[in-house]
Amino acid sequence: MSEHAHGLAGLLRLGGRHAGRELYVRHAHKDGRSVAILRATDHGESCVVEAEVFTDTGESLRPGPYSFADPRQATTFMTEAVETLIYLGCDVTA
């Protein structure tokens, strides 16, 4: 899915209202398949991290969203999640 399509999907999930300023997106892959997509968005009064996790059968799960008071807290959460994915053998890209 293209970056534009991901952004559009996020906007549609929020019912068409302003989705905030995307801080970053991370894609985790292992053995040639998508494992997870993590997206952090700054909404001004809070920051939200959304996750899409793919099972080995291709099913898409959406745990969260995870809300934080500011970008620093969201960044700490994302950093720890990415480090865990790397530890588990995933390749993580922006």
Chain segment 8-20, per-residue pLDDT in tens: 444 444 444 456 8
pTM of this structure: 0.76
Task: Please give the pLDDT value at position 19.
Answer: 67
The answer to whether the CB of 24 falls within 8 A of the CB of 41 is: no
Closest by Cα among 82, 74, 80 to 29:
82
Question: Half-sphere exposure of 13 toward its Cβ, with a 13 Å CA cutoff?
Answer: 13
Closest by Cα among 2, 22, 9, 3 to 62:
9
Q: How confident is the model at residue 4 (pLDDT cuts 50, 70, 90)?
A: very low
Residue spans of the domains in the chain: they are 20-93
For residue 30, give Cα distances in angstroms to 7, 35, 76.
Answer: 23, 6, 23
| Eight-state DSSP code of residue 44 | S
Q: How confident is the model at residue 3 (pLDDT cuts 50, 70, 90)?
A: very low
> Is residue 85 scored above 80 in pLDDT?
yes
Average pLDDT over residues 23-30: 96
Closest by Cα among 87, 66, 61 to 77:
66
* Integer Cα distance of 20 and 40 in angstroms: 10
- What CATH fold (topology level) applies to the domain 20-93? q64v53_bacfr protein fold (2.20.140)
The per-residue pLDDT for range 28-81, each reduced to its tens digit, is: 999 999 999 999 999 999 999 999 999 999 899 999 999 999 999 999 999 999
